[in-house]
Structure 1
Amino acid sequence: MLPALISRVTCDDVASDGAELRRRAHGAARALAGVRRVAVDEPDPVHRLCWLLGAELAGAAALVVDPDWSRRDEVLADAAPEVVVSGAPEPGDPVARRGDERTWFYLPTTSGSSGAPKVLVRSRRSWSESFRALDVPLGPDDAVLVPGPLSSSLFLFGAVHALHGGASLRLLRRWSARAAAAACRDATVVHVVPAMLAALLSVWEREPEPRPRLRLVVCGGAAVGAELEARLHRVLPECELLEYYGAAELSLVAVRRGEPRLRPVVEVDVRDESGASLPPEVPGALWARSELVCDGHLRGGVLVPAAPGWRGVGDRAVRHEDGTVTVLGRAGSVIGTGGHLVAAEEVEAVLRAVGGVLDVVVAGTPHRRLGALVTAVLEVDPGSPPTRARLRDATRRLEPAKRPRRWLVLPELPRTPAGKPARAEVARLLRDGALDAEVPA
């Protein structure tokens, strides 16, 4: 994974020389000689990257620890690292790369947005093949901004992909919409989740100058939605969007660039509850088969192998006649209300496009007669919060059953360490009646 040349890496406003980073990666590899699993417990993003690249050289699988993990002890117990490293690795002379393409390279965790995270096992091959499947050519003239934590596989993937493409890499110690917007003035590519894109657009709408030089926004983690994409093109007409769907267990599954729907880059199938394939345009469970998937997960340091062949993670989707797919979201995020099934992600995609909405979770408030009320829990821009009338107007394109009946607001949504909204925590707050602040009319 360590490229022959590393361009400059900048964290906030501090630049690091690529040659020095390579020497530190080799030094990390020397320090990890003979180690099979390592936990990187270092907050500095550049040092994290050096340890990860050094572990890969040494043939060790790395777990990148997040200081905000609420279940840190459980995660470490499952990963069972032989060593825990921190600080800046000492520079060292070049070492030979150990292992082959089947060697374990990385121990990502599932997001934990709906429950306890799992420690997964990824091989070198699963990542290198994912680079090819994403198909984003980069060069020395590109500057790639990765504004999220490297403990998230989504952002770590973007960082390592940038290094392999020969681009310069820009990192942030902590996500900040204003800091990321400023960094985009000199970046050509940025990796974000939809909530980050919405927050960036809010900054650029208020402060249109100086204009970012972005040519490409790479967006994963959730559906972008037509409204948010249209908003991007209004603000940055010459910037292209690449949306992708994947999961920590499956890696990359489908990509959308210049067309209205996601196109699979691996084998996919949509099935009913019995496991039978469904015809086009009928929603069901999404399954994938590829060489990009994880090898399994660790429990108490022991590998629980993934079943061979087709795999699913509980996401629902529709396969279309032209081979494209529409991902409807996790089965657990489907809300049953008055006999209708509402996909939370579909409603969230509409609301995330509204100016002043930084992020949103749509969930069900328990209701004796309807089963649940569709409820929007929003994090809004305090400088320009949207009104309830404006939000309701945005949802008029949805079927009546999908339109939220309650509109609540939080100063900040609860989040997973990867930065995604913690759905399970929002659902708990609604069940307990702990949310009562309403969006102003």
Structure 2
Amino acid sequence: MAYTFADLFEHSVDAMPDRLALIASGEEVTYRELEERANRLAHHLETAGFGAGSHIGIHMHNSIETMVAVLAAFKIRAVPLTVNYRYTTDELVYLYDNADLDALVFHRGFAERVAEALPQVPRIRHLVDVPDALATGTEPSLPGSVRYQDALAAASPERGFAERSGDDVYILYTGGTTGRPKGVVWRQEDMWRVLAGGLDFFTGEPIADEYQQSRTGAAGEPMRMLILPPLIHTSALMPTFTALLAGNAVIYDPRFDAARTWELVGRHRPTAMVITGDAMGRPLVEALRGAGADTSSLAVVASGAALFSGSVKDAFFEALPNLMISDSVGSSETGFGGIGFATKGLEQHGGPKVGSHRHTVVVDDENRVQAPGSGAEGWLAKIGPVPLGYYNDPVKSAEIFREVFADGRSQRAVVTGDRARIEDDGSVTLLGRGNMVINTGGEKVFAEEVEAVVKAHSDVYDAIVIGVPDERWGNRVAVVMRARDGLPDFESIEKHARSQLAGYKIPRSFWIVPEVERTPSGKPEYRWAKDHTAAHAPDHRID
């Protein structure tokens, strides 16, 4: 057996076949049922001519069928590529083409957009059309597509697949907030190590063997995890695998809705809920007020992949005093980089602070690892199991996949675009994205630090902080924001910001919008914010 997601999942099926695996859209499936459906789809794909190295696009929202498709691809040593379902036709054409997709499994609700893109991507030669909880019933039937139900009905529910290898890869498309999406190529074993339980999340030590997760799961009581981010992102897909490899159940909702989330919590009683920062956290905590939901089962809220500001965490603590809140550092390129735990009233400057981790380091501009106790600022980097690089992009790969130096030797690492500081105890504090540093009058301002302060004001519902051109200072700090009700009190916001930020960090220009645009995973859409400020006069200026 190899350290692949298909093998490890099959261990769980063998150990706990009758446990509940997934809950979504009113349906529940056991491990055995999920396995049989994945086997059937995998055999269908094999019969259609796909196997090791084939690229299978999965253009779907969160559902049981989405995980069936991911598992089916892994079972035949194909490469599943989850597609951002919010992409425009042009963006889809780029991704389909850049990813060299051979086949596409898609939800019926996305059929119209898929149909617009397909003529420009002739490499895709097989389509599987999946029933969709969000479809209207008026979507077109794509010529030549195979109905999901027919594909499963005609195929075997048994395994019978070729031996797999830990060198089998998974490609995750990421980015798109400041440029074109990029495919990050991971060996499956490395991704499992850093994101799905193959390493101890706190110590970085590898687990004993390939059966440890299923063995431990079978010996304990199962828990339930409500995963809200979209499965197109590691912040949802890898927690799903972490749960499934240990015999736990995962709950999905096809579309994020804060009020409905609390109904799901009361109905299905999860122990943990996975979110992506303020984009989900703020509407969730506001929907909880007065909802009358039964939240007694919920013990943990785990966030990652986006800023989770202290003010929103405190609001959770006020509503649920016994809650544990974790904030993880990581990305598609680094995997898990560390975890921190929040307490009420904790001051937060920039991103989260995470505990010491053997594979998370800070390097300077010469790629030298900075020692704990130096207090040095630099670039967040990850050593240990790291990706092979970006798909079909050696130039971009060379920019961040580098050799770093420590204790007289070099080792391969991912050097991210995040600025960070190494603390005395070896913990790491995230300061902000390096490519979103605002240079104003020679001073550097981290956008995330200002964003966290602005969003803590009661008049601000959501905000993105960027730099805009300024004749005197080069750039000025600007905010594109959604107000909570009516016109915000700008004087009060300025006073609030000055109480926590140095003068050069104070926002000087404000744009009010009906909705702040974010990616499906909750990250700021910086390109949209910059385009908006370029096309519209500010609603308020401080000179």
TM-score by length of 1: 0.88
| SS class of match (1:326) | strand
Instruction: For structure 1, list consecutive stretches of 5 or more residues without a partner in the other structure.
Output: none
User: What is aligned with 2:201?
Assistant: 134
1:217/1:278 CA distance change after superposition, 3 Å? same
User: What is aligned with 2:36?
Assistant: 23
Task: Give the C-alpha shift of residue 192 in structure 1.
Answer: 0.8
| SS class of match (2:172) | coil
8 Å Cα contact 1:198-1:357 kept in structure 2? no
**Which of 285, 295, 304 is residue 388 of structure 2 equivalent to?**
295
Instruction: For structure 2, list consecutive stretches of 5 or more residues without a partner in the other structure.
Output: 106-127, 131-147, 203-212, 347-352, 404-411
What amino acid is aligned across from residue 193 of structure 1 in structure 2? T
Structure 2 Cα separation of the partners of residues 208 and 365 of structure 1: 44
**Which of 50, 66, 70 is residue 68 of structure 2 equivalent to?**
50
1:433/1:83 CA distance change after superposition, 3 Å? closer
| SS class of match (1:312) | strand
Q: How many residues align?
A: 435
User: What is aligned with 2:273?
Assistant: 190
State yes or no: 1:151 paired with 2:235: no
Task: Give the C-alpha shift of residue 210 in structure 1.
Answer: 4.0
TM-score by length of 2: 0.73
Task: Give the C-alpha shift of residue 249 in structure 1.
Answer: 0.8
8 Å Cα contact 1:216-1:240 kept in structure 2? yes
Structure 1 Cα separation of the partners of residues 487 and 325 of structure 2: 26
Structure 1 Cα separation of the partners of residues 505 and 381 of structure 2: 26
User: What is aligned with 1:215?
Assistant: 299
Q: How does 1:21-420 map to 2 (within 5 A)?
A: 21-33=34-46, 34-36=51-53, 37-43=55-61, 45-70=63-88, 71-85=91-105, 86=128, 87=130, 88=148, 90=152, 92-96=156-160, 98-104=163-169, 106-129=170-193, 130-132=195-197, 133-134=200-201, 140-185=221-266, 186-195=269-278, 196-207=280-291, 209-211=293-295, 213-257=297-341, 261-278=353-370, 280-291=374-385, 293-299=386-392, 307=402, 309-355=412-458, 357-381=460-484, 387-389=489-491, 391-395=493-497, 396-420=499-523
1:214/1:391 CA distance change after superposition, 3 Å? farther
Structure 2 Cα separation of the partners of residues 412 and 258 of structure 1: 28
8 Å Cα contact 2:22-2:64 kept in structure 1? yes
| SS class of match (2:469) | strand
Structure 1 Cα separation of the partners of residues 391 and 281 of structure 2: 33
Range moving further from structure 2, 415-424 or 359-368: 415-424
8 Å Cα contact 1:111-1:417 kept in structure 2? no
| SS class of match (1:120) | strand
Range moving further from structure 2, 190-199 or 388-397: 388-397
* Structure of higher RCO (CA pairs closer than 8 Å, 6+ residues apart): 1
Task: Give the C-alpha shift of residue 232 in structure 1.
Answer: 1.9
| SS class of match (1:244) | strand
1:149-185 superposed Cα distances (whole Å, 9 cap, x missing partner): 2112211122222222322211111122222233233
User: What is aligned with 2:120?
Assistant: none
8 Å Cα contact 1:118-1:297 kept in structure 2? yes
Task: Give the C-alpha shift of residue 216 in structure 1.
Answer: 0.6
8 Å Cα contact 2:431-2:449 kept in structure 1? yes
What amino acid is aligned across from residue 378 of structure 1 in structure 2? M
Structure 1 Cα separation of the partners of residues 505 and 393 of structure 2: 42
Which structure: larger Rg? Answer: 2
8 Å Cα contact 1:215-1:239 kept in structure 2? yes
Structure 1 Cα separation of the partners of residues 282 and 62 of structure 2: 26
| SS class of match (1:112) | coil
8 Å Cα contact 1:270-1:278 kept in structure 2? yes
8 Å Cα contact 1:377-1:407 kept in structure 2? yes
Task: Give the C-alpha shift of residue 381 in structure 1.
Answer: 4.6
What amino acid is aligned across from residue 354 of structure 2 in structure 1? L
8 Å Cα contact 2:313-2:325 kept in structure 1? yes
Task: Give the C-alpha shift of residue 49 in structure 1.
Answer: 0.8
User: What is aligned with 1:433?
Assistant: 535
Structure 1 Cα separation of the partners of residues 495 and 444 of structure 2: 21
